[in-house]
Amino acid sequence: MKAFHNGTFFTMNEQNEVISNGLLLEENGEITYMGPFKKELFHQSTEKVNLQGKWVMPGLVNTHSHIVMTILRGIGDDMLLKPWLETKIWPLENKFTPEIGVASSILGVLEMIKSGTTTFNDMYNPNNIDPDAIMDALTKTGIRGAFSHTIFSFGTKEEQQQNLREAERFAKTYKSFADGRLTTMVAPHSPYTCTPHALEESARIAKEHDLFIHIHLSETEGEVETILSQYGVRPVEHVLRSQIFHQPTLIAHGVVLNDEERQILKEYDVRVAHNPISNLKLGSGIADIPKLLETGIKVGIATDSVASNNNFDLFEEARTAALLQKGTYKDATKMDAKTTLAMATRIGAEAIGMNGVGSLEIGKRADFITIDASSKPHLQPVSEAYSHLLYAANGQDVTDVYIDGKQIVKDRECVTIDEEKIMAEVNRLQQTLVK
């Protein structure tokens, strides 16, 4: 049993408890005690870790990302979503190799981990990469998350069927992987890239294998107009008809929703991954998060890919999410610090069905990060720490990262990934990609 002591613990539980001079006990990756320091428990532990007065909080949860696209950071800036995908991103992804897929993914994970994200939810474009090799590489990084095969309806009928077969194989193979630390979802890309048949098959695969569905939905006004023109209904109603929402579902974006659609999402317990910076950069709009929350919909924070963000810093994302709504509503009470931080941790974990993480509570996994505020002027005065975690902190402030009680980052250095090697590799491969 390992004892973590001499820290201020921001538990992010439903009561938002903060425990000064707290004690966290971990055994076999699970939190067995979280509370005030107790000498008798401390002395029973076989290993003791002095946190040296640092702030401790659950690892952040990124509810929608694309780590395979990390190598495309900075490419196609200042473009709208549709032309950006069709003229920049998809053509380059068609030139990917298995080597690029692995290196790009690991660089993305490195950035996530070092900036405090311990759990991520991802879907990848299957073209020319080796997803099994990526999944194997992910196990070595120590990160937790879901990595999913994207379903598209491109190419011939046989190619579309092959895409569905491979997605189902991947789902069956990786439903529980790396001792349950890694999993997958069924990931139809969107209603504008999937036929009704592909959406129905996605629902079938998810039902048969008891998996979540992860789909881009209602991201832009153009998407709404396209689906309305093709199918006579808006995207939410169209996807509902395919039986998608009969399975646990997370939608990425949800920027363009009306009251009726929000009620449908609530009725089917559909969750939303909010990507404020990506939505801003691509000119997609600003999702109405207060209305989603008032409707009773679970909303997590997400970065999207670094090609449209351009980083995986979830602290920055959460801050932007809060400030956007305050400005849009002209109401400073919207998206308060505790609500927004919960969306980046506990509520985000619930949104992707990973209820065993996201808060520091007995029975949950020992996934947490530390911040050393003592030498950071922008995190002073320390008496206002809860405010600083949202409005002042950033990913560079993360000192240590633990997943399942194992140290993944120590004093800002990742111990599971050769940082210098992976950065050099991605830069070399990027030159071969864009030449």
pLDDT, one tens digit per residue, over 348-384 is 999 999 999 999 999 999 999 999 999 999 999 999 9
Output the pLDDT for position 134: 98
Query: How many domains does the chain contain in total?
Result: 2
Show which of 323, 351, 379 is a domain's final residue: 351
Is the pLDDT reported for residue 334 higher than 80?
yes
Show which of 351, 375, 402 is a domain's final residue: 351
Q: Are residues 343 and 313 in the same domain?
A: yes
Indicate whether 435 belongs to any domain: no
Mean pLDDT of the chain: 97
Q: Are residues 104 and 143 in the same domain?
A: yes
Q: Are residues 101 and 174 in the same domain?
A: yes
Indicate whether 423 belongs to any domain: no
Q: Are residues 75 and 111 in the same domain?
A: yes
Read off the CATH number of the domain in which 69 is found.
Answer: 3.20.20.140
Q: Are residues 153 and 20 in the same domain?
A: no
12 contacts 6 by C-beta, under 8 angstroms: no
What radius of gyration, in Å, describes the C-alpha atoms of the chain? 21
Question: Cα 87 to the chain's mean position, in Å?
Answer: 26
302 contacts 280 by C-beta, under 8 angstroms: no
306 contacts 70 by C-beta, under 8 angstroms: yes
Q: Are residues 285 and 185 in the same domain?
A: yes
Q: Are residues 200 and 250 in the same domain?
A: yes
Indicate whether 425 belongs to any domain: no
Q: Could you report the per-residue pLDDT of 225-267, keeping only the tens digit for each?
A: 999 999 999 999 999 999 999 999 999 999 999 999 999 999 9
Output the pLDDT for position 147: 98
Burial of 198 (0-12, 13-18, 19+ CB in 10 A): buried
Is the pLDDT reported for residue 126 higher than 90?
no
Burial of 151 (0-12, 13-18, 19+ CB in 10 A): buried
Q: Are residues 155 and 255 in the same domain?
A: yes
Question: Cα 50 to the chain's mean position, in Å?
Answer: 29
CA-to-CA distance for 430 and 83, rounded, in angstroms?
21
Question: In the beta sheet, which residues pair with residue 365?
Answer: 30
Indicate whether 212 belongs to any domain: yes
Is the pLDDT reported for residue 127 higher than 90?
no
CA-to-CA distance for 317 and 299, rounded, in angstroms?
13
Q: Are residues 29 and 76 in the same domain?
A: no
CA-to-CA distance for 305 and 113, rounded, in angstroms?
15
Contacts of range 167-172, beta carbons closer than 8 Å, 24 or more positions apart: 167/126, 167/202, 167/205, 168/205, 168/209, 170/131, 171/205, 171/206, 171/209, 171/211, 172/209
CA-to-CA distance for 90 and 85, rounded, in angstroms?
6
Show which of 351, 376, 398 is a domain's final residue: 351
Indicate whether 177 belongs to any domain: yes
Indicate whether 209 belongs to any domain: yes
Q: Are residues 180 and 315 in the same domain?
A: yes
Can you tell me the mean pLDDT for 203-223?
A: 98
Reduced to 3 states (helix: H, G, I; strand: E, B; else coil), residue 397 is helix
Is the pLDDT reported for residue 187 higher than 80?
yes
In which domain, by residue range, is 397 found? Answer: 2-58+361-414
Angle at 63 between CA 243 and CA 84, to 5 degrees: 85
Indicate whether 387 belongs to any domain: yes
CA separation, residue 265 to residues 223, 249, 268, 276 (Å): 18, 9, 5, 19
Read off the CATH number of the domain in which 17 is found.
Answer: 2.30.40.10
Q: Are residues 224 and 149 in the same domain?
A: yes
CA separation, residue 364 to residues 13, 114, 115, 407 (Å): 11, 22, 21, 17
Indicate whether 313 belongs to any domain: yes
Output the pLDDT for position 87: 95
149 contacts 215 by C-beta, under 8 angstroms: no
64 contacts 55 by C-beta, under 8 angstroms: no
251 contacts 295 by C-beta, under 8 angstroms: no
For 221, the token pair is 């006004």
Q: Are residues 50 and 198 in the same domain?
A: no
357 contacts 365 by C-beta, under 8 angstroms: yes
